[in-house]
Amino acid sequence: MSALGTLAVVFHLDGTLVDSEPNYFEAGRRTLAEYGVPDFSWAEHERYVGISTRETITDWRGRYGLSAPVDELVAVKNRHYLELARTKTVVFPQMRTFVERLAGEGVPLAVASGSSAEAIDAILSGTGLDAYLRTVVSADEVPHGKPAPDVFLEAARRLGARPADCVVVEDAAPGAAAAHAAGMRCIAVPYVAAQADAPEFATAGLLLRGGQAEFTARAAFDWLAASDRRP
């Protein structure tokens, strides 16, 4: 058991640990352009932050009138994304420090992401985070993506932790809702500042409205150490 008792921490990946949203946007833009949808904008991309790739593309088919099968579109987008992810993914410095501090304290850690397992592995290995984050759950492995709690509950199961002992670190409203539905506390670090007032974030135990600019590893660790971990 770690110095923080039975605590376990589950990180969302994209937009939380790493600034991969620019890569997802570019992969989405390239994919839609291939299928006759030009001028996909960052503002349009923002509505999908925190939503799994498969669910994003399912929505695209209706929104943009795409006839290609979901599996085909997922494969094309993943191909574009992996090309970018392997070499262009940036880790938020304070998040890396936070992961290293928790790992040093012996806290069980996991990643729970809406990305494909291949994309998660590419990011973790390419950034060196795989040295600390060995328990990984993709939304593709569970019945329902966020805001359903499935991916976080599976991460807790694999860590051997009770949901009540888990803290989720999230950047998106659907993830905060999923953490709450899973019975887990949440550190919310909104990637899109304009979404900080979303009702889903109101359930977070710690909400950093300024996003990554406000997040520090020390403050997050101190909050964990001080917070009530009773079941």
When pLDDT is cut at 50, 70 and 90, the band that residue 53 belongs to is: confident
CB 120 within 8 A of CB 20: no
Q: So what's the pLDDT on residue 220?
A: 97
CB 161 within 8 A of CB 183: no
> Tell me: the pLDDT tens digits for 134-154?
999 999 999 998 999 999 999
> Tell me: the pLDDT tens digits for 28-41?
999 999 999 999 99
As given in the structure block, the two tokens for residue 79 are 């191909």
Q: So what's the pLDDT on residue 231?
A: 43
Cα 197 to Cα 190: distance, rounded to the nearest angstrom = 10
Q: So what's the pLDDT on residue 230?
A: 44
Q: Would the pLDDT of 194 be above 90?
A: no
Q: So what's the pLDDT on residue 228?
A: 55
As given in the structure block, the two tokens for residue 192 are 């899109």
10 Å Cβ neighbour count for 107? 22
Range 130-168 burial, b when 16+ CB lie within 10 A, else e: eebbebbbbbbebeebbbbbbbbbbbbebbebebebbbb
- Name residue 184's amino acid: M
CA 52 to mean position of chain CA atoms: 9
